[in-house]
Structure 1
């Protein structure tokens, strides 16, 4: 067993954390607890396989770590302030990283090497991208989504770090969503405003196939949705409650376990 399926819970206010694993029955197994001030102050945390990249948009510093199977964290490389650009989003297709700035629509692709170093593959000048609010990956392809005009694009990152556009979706093609998450095969769109949702798959052509639609009120009110690449965890920072679910082959959602208010700590980031 590796750290591929381990979740990291992190609180940027006190810099504490916990690593956990979602069991097959939907329960959460706590692996390690990290006291306040264990971590740095980070704005983004993204997972690439069993490695983590922590990034601070405030000082553009970073750290790479390895998550071990027992939930422990091994620091690989530290990057001093100013090493990175100023990014609003960081996404991974499971092998590579995409950094994106919604402010100037520039980007960079990178790989994390075996030693935790970062190898830049391709840089994209300002204006190369559209204006996107969300970027999510199904483990192979990327979906960009705008909550302003409800447009989108699917792309693939090639071996050289280039981006190949698969399909463009015009304004109004999507609903209005607050969260997008993938279980490693399928996508879940969720609206915190009316607790509705949709499941879809990205086809090989980059087109989107709708699997199931969920009417308003079908979900609880959640602040975070995260996946271990098999199961989903919904979490509320307001009530510290949660739910685990699986997306079945038809795109329906099967509830595994419900966690009552107060079960969880207060977390600003959950990464899986």
Structure 2
């Protein structure tokens, strides 16, 4: 199955059931780290594993574990990309270092997807998900090519900052675009699709955490990791609810 076809089919599967999206960031002592977003749609495998295997031409009794880089995907769609505006091409180029992995196992009722990239500074992550949403343009504005593409379509600008003393996650809403989205005929359908889905942030830092501005944050035993869970509808409709600051012990 070609990469783009696999991604498109993966998005279709993800929209058929509730999912859990987990945004992970690990920051090292020197400020470098790793960013990833995991999607767990295993409940769909429990309901319709055989049908999924049939659609993909695969035996669900056998496990599937496929990994590729977005650089490969971009190469496959180069003809289409060359027809986009220079701005859109620049956005897509930002995705070259992302790695995509999909795991399916019918016997274990497992359906997992993951995108990941290393970074030299969290500043490199500005709007990485929004850049992924540009892939929609390859299909003339049709459904996003991956479940993750839709994550960049919450009409906000997301930024991360970290200076060793403080970490900030901040989404600034574009109110005009948010109004346009609310009036979109597909808005209600999107709300229905993700009504029972969750969005989790899980961040690991090299220092012990002193405090977090979100009172719902859960701490690891060593106080270096926080986990916060939100309804996915908050992520899509009120992305600024996911804003918070982390302060560290000296």
Relative to the length of structure 2, the TM-score reads 0.29
User: With CA pairs under 8 Å and 6+ residues apart, which has the higher RCO, 1 or 2?
Assistant: 2
Compare the two structures and name the one with the higher helix fraction.
2
In terms of fraction of residues, the more strand-rich structure is: 1
